[in-house]
Amino acid sequence: MLDREVIVKGVVTADFSDREGLGGVYLQDSGDGDPGTSDAIFVPVAARAPYRDAMRQGARVRIRGRVAELDGGGGVRLTALLPDEVEQLGLGEVGITELRTPPLDWEPFEGMWVRIDAPLTVGSVADLERHGEILASFDGRMWQPAERAEPGSDAARAIAADNARRRLVLDDGRSGDDRPLETGIWPLGAAALRSGSVVESAEGILDHRHGSFRLQLTVPPALAAQARPPAPRVEGALRVASFNLENLFNGDGKGGGFPTPRGARDPRQLDAQLGKLVATVQALDPDIAALMELENDGYGPASSIAALVEALNRAGPGGWRFVDACDRACRRSGRGPGDDAIRVGLVYRGDRVRPAGKPATLAGGPFGPRSRVPLAQAFTPLRGDDTPLVVVANHLKSKGCGEAEGADRDNGAGCWNAVRSDSARRLATWLETDPTRSGSDLAVIVGDMNAYAGEEPLRILKAAGWQDAFEVAGAMAPYSYMYKGEAGRLDHALVSPALAARLRGAAEWHSNADEPREAGYAGRLHEAGPWRSSDHDPLLLGFDWTAPVAPEDETAAAGAVVSTGN
């Protein structure tokens, strides 16, 4: 009926004529008895239209107008009625449609007054501050398809289709930064919602704009915020942590040199960033920590890694040191391994472990120009078993598509999958050569692999014999990163078969991925503490590293047991 003139009658169920971005009302009638078609339509209302006062919520009206398709954004065509004449017929009512499960097709409900009487799990609050919208889903969290299946497989497609069916945007009709969040329909405190929080009920108009179905809220939703979890505890005498620092840059290291290309924009923000990172490390209490996204500015006293270690020791307890992987080229350039703006690093408690031998790095091929140079170091605990543990810090090429060509274009795993896969293959081959010369078969690969569990780089490492520490530990539904409301792991820990036998626990601390961006050190919701110290969650591993029992001690121990038994 496009471009035809029609006459309709109905009740105004919602008036968004004063909302920039919507600028209209929704009209609904009692229905035509066909469950496959909508009983409502959007009617744009100009700010100074003579009929605007006649089209308030609850009014029953008769409209003569022309059917049009408007640009709803994101490739969506929005059917609407452009009014020429409006006659108010008094007041009226229509029934609300109640949904307890996601429909197989949202289209028949477009424009209609809907109440969601089922819990919706918050997936993302990234657009809440700017656009007043939250991405949520029926039936719990949404998962990245590639976290649970191989990209391109039938299983991955089924997960993606299920996510599309379950997802729903909750919107307050705002556009851009036209009003503070606190003056809208969202309850106070909504900006601090974490992913995983629950919307217990929601009511509004089912709309289709900007590429997604959304509920334009007409009443404040009922919210149940997810509590912040305590830091994890794992069994084992030796603990290893790993986390992405989200660009720790410290200017010139002397209080100046800001703004830097990444990270903190001024010394005040740097202090806040360091405070959050220190709080994270203190809460995890590892013996060794692998770090990603350190500024690649060498290892001198003004370097970013030196600033972090200094802040850790100042906050206490002391004893923190860093692995210095500076070679001759590094000393000339003032940069660490590789020519990327960021690098990986290793820090450790010098009162608990000591480096065994020299660090090893893998440069060349994809490492340096694309993936960051891996860093391996063997450590020996100062108490207990003195067998070295080899920790390998990694940060593979990101999924962003800048400059990606040929095999590195997006094939369902983001761009640069070929580079990440080549990196994983070279890493596995390198580690077979015992690069640290420690002679130990107890090794762990940790870091931001920029690949989900079902993607090729992780499959390559597993095929080479490395085992997923979270699978070995029996961890349920791990995730470390949220992207577009879907949870998955970009951050991994893989253990050698010998080390798998010593693994006593693996945990993630969801102190970051579920937090709103505004809770970070530069956001308006910033507060002291570990929350949103990064956009990635840290992980923590625990290993059995008890001292071996000498033969004479075994006899004494056996005698003690017999004596106790008698």
Which residues does residue 24 pair with via DSSP β-bridges, in sequence order?
Answer: 44
CB atoms within 10 A of CB 289: 27
Residues 214 and 299 in one domain: no
**By three-state DSSP, how is residue 371 classified?**
strand
Let me know whether 118 and 216 are in one domain: yes
84 phi and psi angles, rounded to 5 deg: -110, -40
Query: Do 270 and 317 have their domain in common?
Result: yes
For 21-79, give the DSSP string. TT-EEEEE-S--S-TTS-SEEEEE--TT-TTGGGG-TTEEEEEEEEEEEEEEETTEEEE
Separation of alpha carbons 90 and 61, rounded Å = 7
Same domain, 262 and 134: no
Q: What is the pLDDT of residues 368-427, one digit of tens each?
A: 999 999 999 999 999 888 999 999 999 999 999 999 999 999 989 999 999 999 999 999
Give yes or no: residues 158 and 293 share one domain.
Answer: no
CATH of residue 198: 2.40.50.140
- Tell me the two tokens of residue 217: 């809220």
Do 28 and 170 fall into the same domain? no
67 and 112 fall within a common domain: no
| pLDDT tens-place string over residues 173-228 | 776 555 566 667 898 889 899 999 999 999 999 999 999 999 999 999 999 999 99
| Integer Cα distance of 181 and 129 in angstroms | 6
* CATH (domain of 525): 3.60.10.10
Close Cβ partners of 329 (under 8 Å, ≥ 6 residues apart)? none
Report helix, strand and coil shares of the chain as percent, to nearest 5. Answer: 20, 30, 45
Flag whether 565 is in a domain: no
The residue among 224, 251, 283 that closes a domain is: 224
560 — phi, psi (to 5°)?
-65, -40
Three-state DSSP state, 540: strand
276 and 391 co-located in one domain: yes
Instruction: Work out how many domains the chain is built from and give that number.
Output: 3
Say whether pTM exceeds 0.85: yes
Give ∠ CA 521-527-528 in degrees, rounded to 5: 90
Is the same domain home to 136 and 122? yes
Per-residue pLDDT for the chain (566 aa), expressed as one digit of tens each? 999 999 999 999 999 988 777 889 999 999 988 999 999 999 999 878 888 889 999 999 999 999 999 988 888 888 999 999 999 999 999 999 999 999 999 999 999 999 999 999 999 999 888 888 999 999 999 999 999 999 999 999 999 999 999 999 999 877 655 556 666 789 888 989 999 999 999 999 999 999 999 999 999 999 999 999 999 999 999 999 999 999 999 999 999 999 999 999 999 999 999 999 999 999 999 999 999 999 999 999 999 999 999 999 999 999 999 999 988 778 777 888 888 999 999 999 999 999 999 999 999 999 999 999 999 999 999 988 899 999 999 999 999 999 999 999 998 999 999 999 999 999 999 999 999 999 999 999 999 999 999 999 999 999 999 999 999 999 999 999 999 999 999 999 999 999 999 999 999 999 999 999 999 999 999 999 999 999 999 999 999 998 554 445 444 333 333 323 32
Sheet hosting strand 486-488, strand order edge to edge: 142-143, 486-488, 481-483
Task: Enumerate residues 6+ apart whose C-beta is below 8 A from 256.
Answer: none
